[in-house]
Amino acid sequence: MSKRILVVDDESYIVDILDFTLAGEGWEVITASNGEDALRTLLKTNPDLVILDVMMPRIDGIEVCRAIKAREESADTPVILLSAKDREKDRENGMEAGADLYLTKPFSPGRLVEEIRNLMNPQGA
């Protein structure tokens, strides 16, 4: 059974790039365009990993990450935050919210795939 990844970004071209890249690796990709949709989708689909844009309308990625990590059922789900914000304080805020990784845009799809593999298949697991 393939791993399921929830991709959440309000910029459709980012979603398209991620969908193409991740599906090409054999992963099932589910998408949402904002934080509210992300939380609803999370409850319905129980993804193996979540990729969140930080700056989104309604509920931002930091708040979605906190909500994911606060739920017992999803607390161990790896979360990757993607953001154009690259200050150290922004990175700290993301990690404090429970993110497993904080990547800045533009990002390397190859590096993202490598990081996803590491998060979904930790050494020794």
Instruction: Enumerate residue ranges in the chain where pLDDT < 70.
Output: 1, 123-125
Residue ranges covered by each domain of the chain: 4-120
Dist. CA 81–CA 94, nearest whole Å: 7
Q: Which two tokens stand for residue 3?
A: 């791993």
Predicted local distance difference test score (pLDDT) of residue 123: 67
pTM recorded for the entire structure = 0.94
91 half-sphere exposure, CB direction, 13 A CA radius: 8
Residue ranges with strand state E in 9-67: 28-32, 49-53
Helix (H, G, I), strand (E, B) or coil at 119: helix
Helix (H, G, I), strand (E, B) or coil at 26: coil
Dist. CA 116–CA 118, nearest whole Å: 5
Q: Which option is the CATH number for 4-120: 3.30.450.40, 3.30.110.30, 3.40.50.2300, 3.40.50.720?
A: 3.40.50.2300
Predicted local distance difference test score (pLDDT) of residue 85: 86
Q: What string of DSSP letters covers 54-100?
A: SS-SSS-HHHHHHHHHHSTTTTTS-EEEEES--SHHHHHHHHHTT-S
Q: Which two tokens stand for residue 47?
A: 């993804």
Predicted local distance difference test score (pLDDT) of residue 1: 66
Dist. CA 64–CA 62, nearest whole Å: 5
Name which of 61, 35, 50 is nearest 100 in CA terms. Answer: 50
